[in-house]
Amino acid sequence: IDEAHETDIEMLAWLRSIIEQVDGVTLILAALPKLKEEHLKNLETLSQRVTADIELRAFSKDESVDLIKKRITSVGGRTLEPFTLDALNEVYVLSGGSPREILKVCNSILHRAIEKGASIIDSSYFSDFIKPPIMDSGYSGTAESADGRTDALDMLTDKQIKIIEYIGQEG
């Protein structure tokens, strides 16, 4: 279950019941630290059944560059092009070394470069890039642009936008 920190105690208790009653079932939860800090403290019966706890840390700058290089080479590239070293540093600073954020920043910058028809991405692409405020549970959902306006939709992931669109559909 991805984003398991978004579940409630009742759902986790229900899942615990299922893994107890069905032979051969393994429950794997991927979550922010909030799951351990809040939910598992309140659901000791599930907490006692944890057999492995793997905590991922933020990437170093070198690991971040390696991730970007692997993504580029997986689609036929041979080097870090189109990114310059300055651009890679900006990606690292903006992402804080979070793998998911590294990929989101790169995706955003690549779209800008494609729109401009550019073949090289340097630090100039980051001059108006605003890092969203991060809270304990993830994004706050809003960020203020250079002109002072707040645009919450710009901060949503593709999946979050699809959910909002689905909710907005009538009938």
Residue 134 reports pLDDT greater than 50? no
How high is the pLDDT of residue 84?
Answer: 92
How high is the pLDDT of residue 136?
Answer: 35
Q: What percent of the chain has pLDDT over 90?
A: 20
Residue 85 reports pLDDT greater than 90? yes
Higher pLDDT among residues 90 and 25, named by residue = 90
| Angstrom distance (rounded) from CA 93 to CA 138 | 17
pTM for this structure?
0.54
